[in-house]
Amino acid sequence: MNEDIFQSASPENRASLHAIEEIVHITGFSRHTIAIFCRQGFVAPAEGPPDAEVEWAFDDDALRMLRHLAQLHHQHGLDVDGLRLVGPILAELETLRAEVRFLRRR
| φ/ψ bin of 92: left (φ > 0), alpha (ψ from -120 to 50), beta (otherwise) | alpha
For position 35, what pLDDT does the model report?
A: 92
Q: What SS3 string covers 22-57? A: HHHHHHCCCHHHHHHHHHHCCCCCCECCCCCCCCCE
Whether pTM > 0.85 for this model: the answer is no
Range of the domain at 25: 11-105
Instruction: Determine the pLDDT at residue 30.
Output: 93
In a domain, 4, yes or no: no
Nearest one of 46, 18, 21, 35 to 80, comparing CA atoms: 35
- Reported as a pLDDT band with limits 50, 70 and 90, residue 90 is confident
Total domains present in the chain: 1
* CATH number of the domain bearing residue 99: 1.10.1660.10
